[in-house]
Amino acid sequence: MKQFESFALDTANECLWHEGAQIALASKPFSVLRYLVENPGRLISHDELLDALWPETYVQPQVLRTYVLELRKILNDDAKEPRFIQTIPKRGYSFVAAVKDKSPAFSSANEVAPAATPVATELVGRDDEILRLQTIALQAAAGQRQVVFITGEAGIGKTSLVNAFRHASSQTCMAWGHCVEGLSEKEPYYAVLEALSHCFASADHEKPEAGVARLRTSQDRPAELCEALEELSSERLFILVIEDIQWAHQSTLELLAALARRSTPARLLVIATYRPLHHSTKFYLKSIKQDLVVRQLCTELALEPLCRQSTKRLLSRRLHQEDLPVELSDFIYQRSGGNPLFAHALLDHMIAERSIVRRGAETDSRWEQITSISNLEVTVPQELARLIELEIDRLSPEEQRVLEAGSLMNIAFPVWSAAAALGVDQDVVEELCDGLERRTGLVRRAGHDDLPNGTRSDFYAFAHEFYREVLYQRQTTSRRAKGHIRIAEQLSALFAGREATVAREVAQQYEAAGNWYRTIAALRAGALHSRERNAHEDSTQLLTHALRIVENLIEPERTTLADEIAAELQPSRGTVAPSRSQQQKAS
């Protein structure tokens, strides 16, 4: 923990504190502040900062100015008379405040600071949930023990909700434990012991070593752990927070169930967070939670994505600007799906790419949109892509291949398309997709498709467009091309005799594969079908698209096909269908 004036920078948990309250700070501004604080009293050049934070990426120095402006607002620092960050014109920055190390154990007397999420989010759109937690805390403070499960997908704001509740309950004793993937699954009571050991370490009435030792010797006797928790709640409300219990050892889950079922009064509130559809979420956890719900011994708060208006408020708070650039909030809402973590990552990415910039004097600057939303191409932000890759890598090879095959179609894909891309039976793909939906939530069933041959194929949709993009990009170009061609061929086979009705979809697959001749043939066939139905505008669009594809060919084929398609575009010349020899050549 690095202390400067009334601020504390928790480098272990990657968060900023001010007088006991955590301040929302995104990952890149935090990284800039951390580098400055860890190198106080000397010039940090622009190049040094850029090399330290973006070692393998070209980023313009203007991005640093944007982040420093944000940090100055958070720290209430004046650029003209800096208390913290001094600008050295045309050279860089210097952190001028005195920095000292501080014990990171507690943010207040009996409170353990939680680990920060990858991108700290300002809490919006959760007023009802905060009120519900406060009501439950009052019941617990009156001696009626409570267990609360806070559930939701990664990045939805579970930790931020608990943080906001904690700030509103600053006089309450609270301990925080975190289940760690691959570790807490093997060690009984890992997160509980972590939280309680901090509490005993801070207690005045008992030596830390004795308290911790007593906890560890009681691991085989859950009743003693229950008693230890009840002892901490004997005089005032005690709140135990256990995060990510989808990675908890079974003993931890049994302890939660035991605490909920004990009938003696206790000023105790246990809050557990988890991702309900995470691949490692255990059936045992689901059954315990459901049993407690049925017996009315726990409460579940399921966090949904933010609505459009809440996403706009989140962005306004982050940018410190009420009137946002035109279409910005709608674009980020649509791309993020209302996920706060995704929204922050997208905003960081757009700032780094200078799609939006800050202009004006530091005391009166405003964010302006540089690139039109219609021309904006935002890929998956690098930090999110890494998180999604980790999620995918935990799946079996067969599950990964099915999801990659599904990504070749769109955000929603029919089972038959993934089966065609892989060259396997539909039943195999359907069984894997069904298991993925139940265990991971990465895909969900989205209806079915009635095929011309009288069969039915289920549709599945990715939980978010970002998952589909990462899965698509992780495949080699050659493998993607083969999959696209197999899907196009299967689509033509399914609609044998009526191929023209799906010509546009077939052309999309061939185009994605880079097979220009077959793309052009499909587009021309679709245009002919449209003209026969007097859908002349649709026919013109298809032929115009075909002309653009022709530019990928070499001479003399390029000129020959361009002339033929141009003739087809002339209504006075009539419709010219591709010759049999041209169709054979294209196929």
* CATH number for position 210: 3.40.50.300
Q: How many helices (H) and strands (E) does the chain have?
A: 24, 20
- Position 572 scores a pLDDT of 37
Please check whether residues 134 and 270 belong to one and the same domain.
yes
Q: With a cut of 60, say whether residue 421 has pLDDT above it.
A: yes
pLDDT in tens, 483-513: 999 999 999 999 888 888 889 999 999 999 9
Nearest CA to 272 among 263, 587, 584, 293?
A: 293
Q: Is residue 32 part of a domain?
A: yes
Please check whether residues 351 and 264 belong to one and the same domain.
no
Give the torsion through C-alpha atoms of 138, 139, 143, 148, to 10 deg.
-100
Q: With a cut of 50, say whether residue 117 has pLDDT above it.
A: no
- Position 12 scores a pLDDT of 66
- Distance of alpha carbon 508 from alpha carbon 513, whole angstroms: 9
Predicted confidence band of residue 427 (pLDDT cuts 50, 70, 90): very high
Higher pLDDT, 376 or 563: 563
> H-helix or E-strand containing 495?
none
Q: With a cut of 90, say whether residue 449 has pLDDT above it.
A: no
> Which sign does the torsion angle of CA 311, 317, 318, 321 carry?
positive
Pairing between β-strand 146-151 and β-strand 238-243 as defined by DSSP bridges: unpaired
Nearest CA to 57 among 503, 379, 451?
A: 379
Q: With a cut of 80, say whether residue 14 has pLDDT above it.
A: no
Give me 393's structure tokens: 């890598």
pLDDT in tens, 44-53: 888 888 878 7
- Distance of alpha carbon 376 from alpha carbon 563, whole angstroms: 33
Please check whether residues 357 and 398 belong to one and the same domain.
no
Percent over 70 (pLDDT), the chain: 84
Q: At what angle do helices 397-406 and 465-473 cross, to 10 degrees?
A: 110
Which residue among 344, 378, 412 closes a domain?
378
Q: Is residue 120 part of a domain?
A: no
Looking at the DSSP bridge assignments, the partners of residue 314 are: none
Check: CB of residue 215 under 8 Å from CB of residue 200.
Answer: yes
Higher pLDDT, 114 or 542: 542
Q: With a cut of 90, say whether residue 90 has pLDDT above it.
A: no
Mean pLDDT in residue range 63-89: 85
Please check whether residues 78 and 226 belong to one and the same domain.
no
- Position 55 scores a pLDDT of 67
Q: With a cut of 80, say whether residue 23 has pLDDT above it.
A: no
Q: With a cut of 80, say whether residue 376 has pLDDT above it.
A: no
- Position 512 scores a pLDDT of 94
pLDDT in tens, 178-207: 888 778 788 888 888 888 776 655 544 444
- Position 115 scores a pLDDT of 36
Higher pLDDT, 549 or 369: 549
Q: Is residue 106 part of a domain?
A: no
Q: Is residue 271 part of a domain?
A: yes
Please check whether residues 254 and 315 belong to one and the same domain.
no
Q: With a cut of 70, say whether residue 116 has pLDDT above it.
A: no
- Position 315 scores a pLDDT of 92
Please check whether residues 434 and 528 belong to one and the same domain.
yes
- Contacts of residue 494, defined as CB under 8 A and 6 or more positions apart, other chains included, come to 416, 451, 452, 453
Structure-token match 């370490």, residue found: 201
Nearest CA to 137 among 128, 148, 126, 127?
A: 148
* Helical segments of 169-239, H only: 190-202, 208-217, 222-232
- Position 368 scores a pLDDT of 84
Q: Is residue 109 part of a domain?
A: no
Q: Is residue 115 part of a domain?
A: no
**End-to-end C-alpha distance for the chain, whole angstroms:** 66
DSSP string, 519-586: HHHHHHHHHHHHHHTT-HHHHHHHHHHHHHHHTTS-TTHHHHHHHHHHHHT-GGG---PPPHHHHHHH
**CATH code at position 11:** 1.10.10.10
DSSP string, 236-291: S-EEEEEE-GGG--HHHHHHHHHHHH--S---EEEEEEE-TT-TT--HHHHHHHHH
**Which of these ranges, 87-96, 181-190, 556-565, has the smallest mean pLDDT?**
181-190
Q: With a cut of 60, say whether residue 553 has pLDDT above it.
A: yes
Please check whether residues 285 and 177 belong to one and the same domain.
yes
Pairing between β-strand 146-151 and β-strand 268-274 as defined by DSSP bridges: parallel
Mean pLDDT in residue range 332-345: 90
Angle formed at CA 522 by CA 521 and CA 523, multiple of 5 degrees:
95
To the nearest 5 percent, what fractions of the chain are helix, strand and coil? Answer: 50, 15, 35
Q: With a cut of 80, say whether residue 316 has pLDDT above it.
A: yes
Mean pLDDT in residue range 88-117: 60
Q: What is the CA radius of gyration of the chain?
A: 29
How does the average pLDDT of the chain come out, rounded?
83
- Contacts of residue 267, defined as CB under 8 A and 6 or more positions apart, other chains included, come to 140, 141, 142, 143, 145, 233, 234, 235, 236, 237, 238
Q: With a cut of 90, say whether residue 304 has pLDDT above it.
A: yes
Read off the pTM.
0.67
Q: With a cut of 90, say whether residue 101 has pLDDT above it.
A: no
- Position 559 scores a pLDDT of 92
pLDDT in tens, 232-286: 888 889 999 999 998 888 889 999 999 999 989 999 999 999 988 665 667 788 8
Q: What is the tally of structural domains in the chain?
A: 4
Please check whether residues 408 and 454 belong to one and the same domain.
yes
Please check whether residues 249 and 274 belong to one and the same domain.
yes
- Distance of alpha carbon 265 from alpha carbon 263, whole angstroms: 6
Please check whether residues 229 and 244 belong to one and the same domain.
yes
Looking at the DSSP bridge assignments, the partners of residue 88 are: 92
Predicted confidence band of residue 362 (pLDDT cuts 50, 70, 90): low
Q: With a cut of 60, say whether residue 578 has pLDDT above it.
A: no
Higher pLDDT, 11 or 514: 514
Please check whether residues 427 and 447 belong to one and the same domain.
yes
Check: CB of residue 183 under 8 Å from CB of residue 280.
Answer: no
Angle formed at CA 84 by CA 79 and CA 89, multiple of 5 degrees:
45
pLDDT in tens, 196-242: 776 655 544 444 444 445 555 555 567 888 888 888 888 889 999 99
Q: With a cut of 70, say whether residue 293 has pLDDT above it.
A: yes
Domain that holds residue 156: 126-302
Q: Is residue 199 part of a domain?
A: yes
Please check whether residues 159 and 257 belong to one and the same domain.
yes
Q: Is residue 448 part of a domain?
A: yes
